[in-house]
């Protein structure tokens, strides 16, 4: 390399990111180069300087340091420097000396990199092509966003996630019964929206006792890294808006709802999705609006997507339930009376759907046909009914008509679009529940007060004043009453010293007991915090049993520690004692014994308690134990629950109505058996009639709508296809190798991934010098082991590697050798890979119709097109790598030839573009037009379809149309192939 001259432009082979360098000085021994863009100077030995001369040719567009551009036509050499000749943007003929080229000229593009001699490894090129191919495939897969999470494939969850996440700005109430997986559904929806670019920022508001559990679920199951925000974290942000500190922010409702300043900060952010767990706490009535409701109402007014989660939507009353639906869709839910009125018709709709199953059903199908015809109006539905009712139609025609009609009826009537509620009854496969009662004698300190209450009507008022307690707390929770009367000298002893429920529990806990828990885990729930604390103390003092306590007085960390101590399978505690806050949201399905140390006051709360154990993942029957004092208010309350509404058997969803109708009467009857019997009888009557009505009408409709098995099955099928994708392990191997991640087989389908010595920085979960992680490709294995990550196309490591390849220039140039008996040595081929670019806002998720698509063109040096004759794989496996220095020499010597092939390749690739664009348009139109037609038909009958939803879809279709139309092809990567003799090495 003796031909350096000051002013010449070269780039560094090893540090191309330094940009275009200028030779400052050179002599026999060294050469000094200034890289102006990065303000770096380097001196190299002139004999082996790792530099490549930059020389442009005809057709290249270059930029001057003054900012003007030149389209190169020709060049000449003057005093050792190249002078480019060509036209500027105005069409004027100009000259540009190489020393006057802009330092900032980029050499990222394949063409520039190749022509400036920057060649990557051959296997990088290979990986780049494969990445494009797989990315193209996966982006169009209907399971995108649902296949990565570490979950069991449960149909009702997949259906909901698929149905909701495909909507423009979904606003729904996820109201499955307790423990059926609302958190999982919300996580799936969020995950899919994030992966498809439809959401980038989400705010998740949950009760304080559930923050950690959400954090862990989102990380463990969805690999989503969430920022947990509290006051301390917020203060640490000083002046900055703390809600801007992460893309996904999780916060406690209690904290936010009590803090107007933080609410204003949260409202000031741009969120795409708001998730509110245990949303029944957002209470509203005509006279008073709870602070939680008010806060969420303000947020929901500007955040486009809203998911409200509750298992007991009516726990705070029908008014509150209606108000929450209104949060989701104020236009649809503006009148409570109308809402009530609509519900009356659900029975007929449900009956019509059932009638479909019987049709055509022989000669006597008239009434069933009438039943359906009475509901439907639209011509498309009527035509389907005619096909279905016609005994002459083929079985296939009937099946298809039945399915479509069913979907139309479900879509067009009822609350289905806003509310999803699955129940155990139709999901099936849930454990039985067994109720065990322990009848205990009232201890004298309680009996004294209760008997006096029964004798003396006025005493209750006195007692309420004396204790400051509420009615009926004072009656149902005798230990609370006892503590409130602490002034009484007879009440000096701690309550747990004499309360027989404590002794009973201790006996059951000891292994010897006849009906003991035999070492099994036991969750104990008591209504009040002080009861829970006292009970834990009693277990320790009287029985030497260490039971962590979980109550509202503890910090979040302390609560999580208590729950974790209980959950630990090997070394964990046998018992956890919770106050009522432990009865919501928590996952305790690893335990099958529930002790209700006392009873809650609302049937929905009772269901929430049982729901801690009766959840997905529970493998045993649920044993519910209730210690009762004979002839006490607590025992009467139990009878109301058990005999009035079968509350211990299974969730029934009418608890709130019964509470509204008879809650007061039941409270009044807590001291009187006779009136209690009446209340129970009346409750039972209403219970049964409501159940029949609901099962026939609203519940039936909700159930039918909450999961459409055919859709769920299709989604599960698409997920399984990705799970079993044979290409994934092959791709993974290659990518890990190239990114420098070591992988060790651990046996049993497990891999240990760890940073290699030369690992590229910034890969998620892997830091040089630190430990790696265990992973598996198998869903089942990942589900069985919490400490094992599941590798899928959606895993952050895979996505990062693929993203880096696609967004950067890694592997976009290569040179390889080919030995082929039929081709003489020294021949050149160019393998060009073009990629479609379709600039569009991320929210359009244009990739589902037109993901970056590769167009491969293979040319030999004479310009003959070999693309169809020689496949990528066929060629690739016969190629050999070559030293970089040699590759650069080849490129330098074949510059002009390569330029010609690059230009010809462009023309060849352009021929493919129209059909790619057309295919994408057809796919987009067929999907969106069908969806739009469905929505328009729906909107005519079901006001739950918002006009803005329709407008948004029309706009989306238009924008997609334009975006796809504007698709261009760009050269993404190029590999030069040189043939060599058979015997050359």
**Which residues lie near ligand ATP (CB under 6 A)?**
151-152, 154, 157, 176, 178-184, 311, 585, 587, 589, 611, 615-617
Q: How far is the C-alpha of 409 from the C-alpha of 399, rounded, in Å?
A: 15
Q: How far is the C-alpha of 573 from the C-alpha of 673, rounded, in Å?
A: 40
Tokens of 742: 């070591």
202: phi then psi, degrees, rounded to nearest 5? -135, 145
Sign of CA dihedral 44, 50, 56, 57: positive
Q: Which of residues 594 and 671 has its CB atom nearest to ligand ATP in the complex?
A: 594
CB of 689 to ligand ATP, least distance (A): 27
Sign of CA dihedral 804, 807, 813, 819: positive
CB of 154 to ligand ATP, least distance (A): 4
CB of 574 to ligand ATP, least distance (A): 20
CB of 457 to ligand ATP, least distance (A): 41
CB of 397 to ligand ATP, least distance (A): 36
User: 24: Cβ–Cβ under 8 A, 6 or more apart, which residues?
Assistant: 6, 32, 33, 34, 41
Which residue reads 């199951």 in tokens?
A: 221
CB of 589 to ligand ATP, least distance (A): 6
Going by the annotation, the residues of the binding site for ATP are: 176-183
CB of 582 to ligand ATP, least distance (A): 11
Q: How far is the C-alpha of 172 from the C-alpha of 190, rounded, in Å?
A: 13
Q: Which of residues 706 and 890 has its CB atom nearest to ligand ATP in the complex?
A: 706
Q: Which of residues 311 and 879 has its CB atom nearest to ligand ATP in the complex?
A: 311
Q: How crowded is the C-beta side of 542, counted as CA atoms within 13 Å?
A: 22
Q: How far is the C-alpha of 8 from the C-alpha of 4, rounded, in Å?
A: 7
3-state secondary structure of 53: strand
Q: Which of residues 179 and 305 has its CB atom nearest to ligand ATP in the complex?
A: 179
Angle in degrees, 0-180, between the axes of helices 211-222 and 182-195, rounded to the nearest 10: 50
**DSSP one-letter string for 6-39:** TT-EEEESS-GGG--EEEEEE-SSEEEEEEGGGT
Query: In terms of Cα–Cα distance, which of 179, 145, 150 is closest to 780?
Result: 150
Q: Which of residues 111 and 182 has its CB atom nearest to ligand ATP in the complex?
A: 182
Q: How many CB atoms lie within 10 A of CB 424?
A: 17
Angle in degrees, 0-180, between the axes of helices 444-455 and 459-467, rounded to the nearest 10: 130
Q: How far is the C-alpha of 956 from the C-alpha of 809, rounded, in Å?
A: 32
Q: How far is the C-alpha of 149 from the C-alpha of 143, rounded, in Å?
A: 11
User: 675: Cβ–Cβ under 8 A, 6 or more apart, which residues?
Assistant: 665, 668, 669
Q: What is the DSSP letter of 771?
A: -
CB of 723 to ligand ATP, least distance (A): 14
44 beta partners: 31
Residue 897 burial (C-beta neighbours within 10 Å; 0-12, 13-18, 19+)? middle
Q: How far is the C-alpha of 212 from the C-alpha of 561, rounded, in Å?
A: 10
264: phi then psi, degrees, rounded to nearest 5? -65, -40
CB of 651 to ligand ATP, least distance (A): 10
CB of 210 to ligand ATP, least distance (A): 8
CB of 776 to ligand ATP, least distance (A): 16
Q: Which of residues 611 and 772 has its CB atom nearest to ligand ATP in the complex?
A: 611
Q: Which of residues 160 and 735 has its CB atom nearest to ligand ATP in the complex?
A: 160
3-state secondary structure of 206: strand
Q: Which of residues 153 and 435 has its CB atom nearest to ligand ATP in the complex?
A: 153
Greatest Cα pair distance, the chain, in angstroms, is 119
User: 983: Cβ–Cβ under 8 A, 6 or more apart, which residues?
Assistant: none
CB of 251 to ligand ATP, least distance (A): 17
Q: How far is the C-alpha of 893 from the C-alpha of 526, rounded, in Å?
A: 85
Q: Which of residues 84 and 430 has its CB atom nearest to ligand ATP in the complex?
A: 430
| CA 908 to mean position of chain CA atoms | 41
Q: Which of residues 615 and 957 has its CB atom nearest to ligand ATP in the complex?
A: 615
Cα angle 210, 656, 429; round to 5: 65
Going by the annotation, the residues of the binding site are: 176-183
| CA 520 to mean position of chain CA atoms | 34
Query: In terms of Cα–Cα distance, which of 419, 418, 421, 420 is closest to 949?
Result: 418
Answer for the pair 812, 974: CB distance below 8 angstroms, yes or no. Answer: yes
Distances 634 to 51, 627, 641 between C-alpha atoms, Å: 88, 9, 11
Answer for the pair 247, 269: CB distance below 8 angstroms, yes or no. Answer: no
Q: How many helices and strands in the chain, by DSSP H and E?
A: 38, 31
Q: Which of residues 31 and 184 has its CB atom nearest to ligand ATP in the complex?
A: 184
CB of 405 to ligand ATP, least distance (A): 30
Q: How far is the C-alpha of 562 from the C-alpha of 557, rounded, in Å?
A: 9
Query: In terms of Cα–Cα distance, which of 972, 870, 759 is closest to 114?
Result: 972
3-state secondary structure of 517: coil
Q: How far is the C-alpha of 611 from the C-alpha of 626, rounded, in Å?
A: 16
CB of 207 to ligand ATP, least distance (A): 10
CB of 180 to ligand ATP, least distance (A): 5
């Amino acid at each position: 390399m003796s031909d350096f001259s000051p002013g010449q432009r070269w780039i560094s082979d090893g540090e191309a990111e330094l940009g275009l360098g200028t030779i400052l000085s050179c002599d026999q021994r060294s050469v000094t180069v200034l890289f102006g863009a990065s303000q770096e100077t380097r001196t190299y030995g002139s004999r082996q300087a790792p530099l490549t001369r930059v020389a442009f040719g005809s057709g290249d567009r270059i930029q001057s340091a003054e900012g003007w551009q030149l389209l190169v036509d020709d060049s000449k050499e003057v005093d050792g420097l190249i002078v480019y000749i060509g036209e500027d943007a105005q069409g004027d003929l100009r000259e540009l000396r190489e020393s006057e080229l802009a330092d900032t000229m980029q050499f990222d593009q394949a063409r520039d990199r190749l022509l400036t001699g920057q060649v990557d490894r051959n296997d990088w090129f290979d990986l780049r092509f494969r990445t494009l191919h797989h990315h193209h495939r996966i982006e169009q897969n209907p399971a995108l966003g649902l296949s990565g999470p570490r979950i069991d494939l449960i149909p009702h969850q997949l259906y909901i996630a698929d149905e909701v996440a495909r909507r423009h700005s979904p606003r729904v109430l996820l109201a499955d019964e307790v423990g059926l997986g609302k958190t999982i559904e919300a996580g799936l929806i969020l995950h899919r929206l994030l992966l498809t670019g439809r959401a980038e920022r989400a705010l998740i508001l949950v009760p304080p006792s559930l923050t950690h559990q959400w954090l862990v679920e989102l990380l463990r199951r969805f690999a989503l890294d969430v920022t947990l925000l509290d006051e301390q974290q917020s203060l640490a942000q000083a002046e900055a808006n703390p809600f801007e500190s992460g893309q996904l922010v999780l916060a406690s409702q209690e904290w936010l709802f009590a803090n107007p300043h933080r609410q204003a900060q949260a409202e000031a952010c741009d969120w795409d999705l708001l998730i509110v767990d245990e949303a029944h706490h957002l209470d509203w009535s005509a006279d008073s609006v709870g602070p939680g409701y008010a806060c969420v109402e303000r947020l929901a007014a500007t955040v486009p997507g809203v998911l409200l989660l509750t298992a007991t939507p009516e726990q705070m009353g029908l008014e509150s339930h209606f108000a929450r639906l209104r949060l989701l869709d104020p236009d649809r839910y503006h009148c409570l009376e109308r809402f009530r009125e609509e519900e009356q018709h659900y029975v007929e709709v449900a009956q019509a759907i059932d009638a479909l199953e019987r049709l055509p059903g022989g000669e006597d199908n008239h009434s069933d046909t009438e039943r359906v015809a009475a509901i439907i109006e639209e011509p498309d539905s009527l035509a389907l009914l005619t096909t279905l009712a016609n005994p002459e139609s083929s079985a296939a025609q009937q099946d298809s008509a039945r399915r479509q009609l069913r979907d139309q009826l479900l879509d067009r009537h009822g609350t289905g679009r806003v509310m999803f509620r699955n129940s155990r009854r139709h999901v099936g496969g849930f454990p039985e529940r067994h109720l065990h009662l322990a009848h205990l004698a009232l201890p004298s300190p309680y009996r004294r007060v209760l008997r006096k209450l029964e004798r003396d009507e006025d005493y209750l008022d006195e007692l309420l004043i004396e204790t400051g307690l509420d009615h009926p707390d004072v009656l149902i929770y005798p230990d609370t009453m006892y503590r409130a009367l602490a002034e009484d000298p007879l009440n000096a002893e701690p309550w747990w010293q004499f309360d027989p429920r404590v002794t009973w529990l201790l006996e059951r806990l000891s292994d010897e007991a006849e009906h003991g828990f035999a070492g099994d885990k036991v969750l104990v729930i008591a209504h009040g915090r002080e009861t829970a604390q006292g009970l834990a103390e009693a277990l320790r003092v009287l029985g030497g049993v260490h039971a962590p306590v979980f109550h509202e007085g503890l910090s979040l960390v302390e609560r999580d520690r208590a729950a974790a101590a209980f959950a630990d399978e090997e070394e964990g505690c046998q018992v956890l004692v919770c106050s009522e806050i432990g009865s919501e949201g928590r996952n305790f399905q690893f335990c099958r014994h529930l002790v209700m140390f006392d009873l809650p006051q609302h049937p929905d709360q009772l269901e929430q308690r049982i729901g801690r154990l009766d959840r997905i993942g529970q493998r045993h029957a649920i044993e519910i134990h209730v210690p009762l004092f004979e002839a006490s208010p607590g025992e009467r309350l139990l009878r109301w629950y058990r005999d009035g509404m079968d509350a211990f058997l299974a969730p029934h969803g009418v608890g709130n109505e019964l509470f509204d109708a008879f809650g007061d009467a039941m409270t009044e009857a807590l001291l009187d058996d006779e009136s209690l019997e009446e209340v129970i009888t009346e409750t039972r009557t209403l219970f049964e009639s409501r159940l029949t009505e609901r099962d026939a009408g609203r519940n039936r409709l909700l159930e039918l709508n909450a999961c459409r098995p055919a859709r769920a099955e299709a989604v599960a099928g698409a997920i399984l296809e990705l799970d079993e994708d044979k290409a994934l392990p092959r791709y993974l191997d290659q990518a890990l190798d190239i990114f420098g991640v070591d992988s060790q087989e651990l046996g049993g389908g497990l891999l240990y991934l760890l940073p290699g010595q030369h690992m590229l920085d910034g890969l998620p979960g892997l830091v040089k010098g630190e430990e790696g992680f265990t992973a598996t490709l198998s869903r089942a294995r990942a589900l069985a082991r919490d400490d094992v990550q599941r590798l899928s196309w959606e895993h952050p490591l895979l996505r990062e590697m693929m993203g880096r390849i696609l967004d950067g220039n890694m592997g976009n140039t290569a040179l390889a050798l080919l030995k082929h008996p039929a081709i003489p040595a020294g021949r050149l081929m160019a393998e060009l890979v073009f990629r479609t670019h379709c600039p569009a806002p991320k929210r359009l998720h244009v990739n589902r119709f037109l993901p970056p698509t590769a167009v491969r063109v293979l040319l030999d040096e004479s310009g003959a097109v070999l693309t169809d004759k020689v496949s990528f794989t066929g060629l690739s496996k016969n190629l050999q790598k070559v030293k970089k220095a040699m590759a650069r020499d080849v490129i330098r010597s074949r510059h002009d030839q390569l330029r010609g092939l690059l230009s010809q390749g462009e023309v060849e690739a352009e021929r493919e573009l129209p059909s790619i664009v057309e295919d994408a348009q057809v796919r987009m139109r067929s999907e969106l037009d069908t969806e739009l037609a469905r929505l328009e038909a729906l909107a005519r009958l079901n006001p739950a379809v918002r006009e803005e939803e329709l407008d948004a879809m029309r706009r989306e279709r238009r924008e997609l149309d334009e975006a796809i139309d504007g698709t261009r092809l760009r050269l993404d990567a190029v590999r030069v192939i040189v043939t060599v003799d058979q015997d050359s090495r």
